């Protein structure tokens, strides 16, 4: 059976995957990069070093009883000119080497396209009409307007996003300040669930907490669709600095405040852009969008404007190589 290899060496995950010609996943392996306790991220040189160490052993975990027909790699953050990030050189270099030795084609994709294709692989469809893609992670908070394209499925135009901190950075900075380990998203969500257990009713639950003087929301900063998490994050840090000690109640309140702020910010940005240029589909990708509160907020936005909102399953919403493997399979047929 012919298979296609995908390689992705992004900011915080080393990953590889094998898919069949039809996009069926036959094997994958991934590893989060190591971040020291209390740290909020890594320098690019540290990412390159860890990717270089991890990728060979991850590839060795993939099954071997197949015929390699092509390789897909995340070669750059986005397809625009001068888009460059050293971390992607690791996967790209290994991909070029394997392509040459096995005499199979190498297909280059952007990290953005990898995430979108990961969702499309699960959906088993490639849109034939323009659509929006929202990507929220530790290194990206971007809204893209995508149009079908015969050479690489779709073109992507950056139409809006965060002007300072990305969504994942906001979550992680507050999470680390609360004493959580990096990456802090899943644990911060668990804390929020203690105070607001039903993500579908976040707005109503927060309203009740505010009414009873049990909760104070963080500010939301969105201007002409462009959103800022820098101000809300700074306000969160100031509030924590004023606390004599970080109690469990403090953690739960701040967790809800962070996710409510992100929900409102993303909804405002999407509303602004959709009113300028409507589209009937939104594909939401990136590790932060594995969060149940954000998913429910996007689904609510979709219902209001009659937009189909598609997500990759949480395990394929975070960084992984299934998208570029699937893209290679589609192009290699």
Host domain of residue 328: 2-128+318-332
Q: Is the pLDDT of residue 11 over 90?
A: no
122 and 242 share one domain: no
Across 82-105, average pLDDT: 93
Mean pLDDT (whole number) for 64-88 = 88
| Distance (Å, whole) CA 209 – CA 214 | 5
pLDDT of residue 51: 97
d(C-alpha 248, C-alpha 226), whole Å: 33
Same domain, 119 and 24: yes
In a domain, 155, yes or no: no
**pTM of structure:** 0.85
pLDDT of residue 41: 75
pLDDT attached to residue 230:
96
161 assigned to some structural domain = no
Given this model, what pLDDT does residue 81 score?
A: 60
Flag whether 145 is in a domain.
Answer: no
In the chain, what percentage of residues exceed pLDDT 90?
77
pLDDT at 284: 94
pLDDT for res 71:
98
Identify which of 290, 297, 317, 278 has the alpha carbon closest to the alpha carbon of residue 132. 278
pLDDT of residue 124: 86
**What pLDDT, on a 0 to 100 scale, did the predictor assign at position 78?**
75
Q: Which residue has the tokens 């990717």?
A: 51
**Above 90 in pLDDT, residue 42?**
no
If asked whether residues 12 and 43 sit together in one domain, one would say yes
Contact 5, 328 (CB under 8 A): yes
Domain with residue 176: its CATH number is 3.30.420.40
Quick one: CA torsion of 168, 279, 78, 172, rounded to 10 degrees? 0
CA-based torsion, 158, 160, 163, 167: positive or negative: negative
- Summarize pLDDT for 274-302 with one digit per residue, the tens: 999 999 999 998 889 989 999 999 999 99
For the chain, the straight-line distance linking the first and the last C-alpha, in angstroms and rounded, comes to 13
The answer, yes or no, to whether residue 83 has pLDDT greater than 80, is no
Q: How many separate domains does the chain show?
A: 2
The pLDDT of 209-226, averaged and rounded, is 93
pLDDT at 255: 96
Q: What is the pLDDT of residue 129?
A: 93
Q: Examine residue 153 and state whether it is found in any structural domain, yes or no.
A: no
| Residue-averaged pLDDT of the chain | 93
Residue 142 counted as domain residue: no
- pLDDT for the residue 287: 84
Structure tokens at 94: 């290994």
pLDDT-derived band at 96, boundaries 50, 70, 90: very high
pLDDT, residue 79, reads 73
Q: Give the burial string for 115-142 (b: 16+ CB within 10 Å, else e).
A: bbbbbbbbeeeebeebbbbbbbbbbbbb
Q: Reply yes or no on whether the pLDDT at 80 is more than 90.
A: no
User: Do 216 and 273 lie in a common domain?
Assistant: yes
Residue 216 counted as domain residue: yes
Going by pLDDT thresholds of 50, 70 and 90, the confidence category of residue 101 is: very high
pLDDT in tens, 137-185: 888 899 999 998 877 788 888 999 999 999 999 999 999 999 998 889 9
At residue 82, the pLDDT reads 67
For residues 328 and 307, state if they share a domain: no
- Per-residue confidence (pLDDT) for residue 180, from 0 to 100: 93
CB 321 within 8 A of CB 30: yes
- Is it the case that residue 317 has pLDDT exceeding 90? no
Quote the pLDDT of residue 291: 93
């Amino acid at each position: 059976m012919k298979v296609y290899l995908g390689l992705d060496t992004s900011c915080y995950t080393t990953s590889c995957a094998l898919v069949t010609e039809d996009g069926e996943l036959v094997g994958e392996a991934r590893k989060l990069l190591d971040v020291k306790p209390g740290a909020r991220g890594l320098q690019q040189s540290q990412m390159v070093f860890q990717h270089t160490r991890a990728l060979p052993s991850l590839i060795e975990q993939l099954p071997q009883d197949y015929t390699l027909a092509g390789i897909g790699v995340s070669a750059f953050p986005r397809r625009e000119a001068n888009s460059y990030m050293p971390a992607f050189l690791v996967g790209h270099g290994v991909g070029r080497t394997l392509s040459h030795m096995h005499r199979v084609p190498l297909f280059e994709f952007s990290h953005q396209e990898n995430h979108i294709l990961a969702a499309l692989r699960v959906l088993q469809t490639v849109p034939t009409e323009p659509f929006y893609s929202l990507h929220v992670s530790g290194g990206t908070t971007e809204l893209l307007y995508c149009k079908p394209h015969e050479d690489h499925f779709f073109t992507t135009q950056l139409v809006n996003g965060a002007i300072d901190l990305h969504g994942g950075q906001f979550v992680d900075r507050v999470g680390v300040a609360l004493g959580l380990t990096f990456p802090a998203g899943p644990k911060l969500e668990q804390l929020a669930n203690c105070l607001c257990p039903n993500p579908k009713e976040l707005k109503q639950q927060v309203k009740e907490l505010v009414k009873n003087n049990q909760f104070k929301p963080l500010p939301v900063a969105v201007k002409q669709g462009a959103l800022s998490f820098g101000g809300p994050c700074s306000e969160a840090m100031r509030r924590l600095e004023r606390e004599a000690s970080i109690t469990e109640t403090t953690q739960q309140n701040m967790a809800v405040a962070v996710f409510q702020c992100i929900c409102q910010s993303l909804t405002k940005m999407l509303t602004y852009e959709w009113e300028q240029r409507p589209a009937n589909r939104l594909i939401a990708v990136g590790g932060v969008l594995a969060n149940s509160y954000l998913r429910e907020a996007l689904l609510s936005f979709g219902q209001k404007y009659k937009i189909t909102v598609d997500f990759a399953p949480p395990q394929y919403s975070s960084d992984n190589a299934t998208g570029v493997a699937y893209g290679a399979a589609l192009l290699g047929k």
